[in-house]
């Protein structure tokens, strides 16, 4: 009986965890000509806010004197 209760608790917690990470991807944004990483992140954040995204994930950033890259936007 204890095993069944433990299994039920693990199952319930697992389903809650997956629900937390279920964000829907709504698109991507590109940023170019940023001079620093924090400037790059600020430009991504501004574009995400303008698009109505609740969060974003930077997937690439490259460059020497001018950074460019992309980010994925999520609802």
Q: How many CB atoms lie within 10 A of CB 36?
A: 9
Averaged pLDDT for residues 59-64: 91
Q: Locate 70 and state its tokens.
A: 């992309």
Residue 72 has pLDDT above 60, yes or no: yes
Q: Where does the pLDDT of residue 1 fall: very low under 50, low under 70, confident under 90, or very high at 90 and above?
A: low
Q: How far is CA 68 from CA 22, 23, 47, 73, in A?
A: 28, 25, 14, 16
pLDDT at residue number 71: 95
Query: pTM (2 decimals)?
Result: 0.69
**Residues 11-56: pLDDT tens digits?**
455 554 444 456 789 999 999 989 998 999 999 999 999 999 999 9
pLDDT at residue number 28: 94
């Amino acid at each position: 009986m204890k095993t069944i209760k433990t299994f039920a608790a693990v199952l319930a917690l697992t389903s809650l965890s997956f629900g937390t990470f279920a964000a829907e991807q709504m698109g991507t944004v590109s940023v170019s000509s940023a001079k620093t990483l924090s400037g790059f992140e600020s430009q991504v954040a501004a574009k995400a806010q303008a698009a109505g995204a609740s969060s974003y994930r930077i997937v690439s950033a490259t460059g020497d004197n001018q950074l460019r890259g992309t980010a994925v936007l999520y609802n």
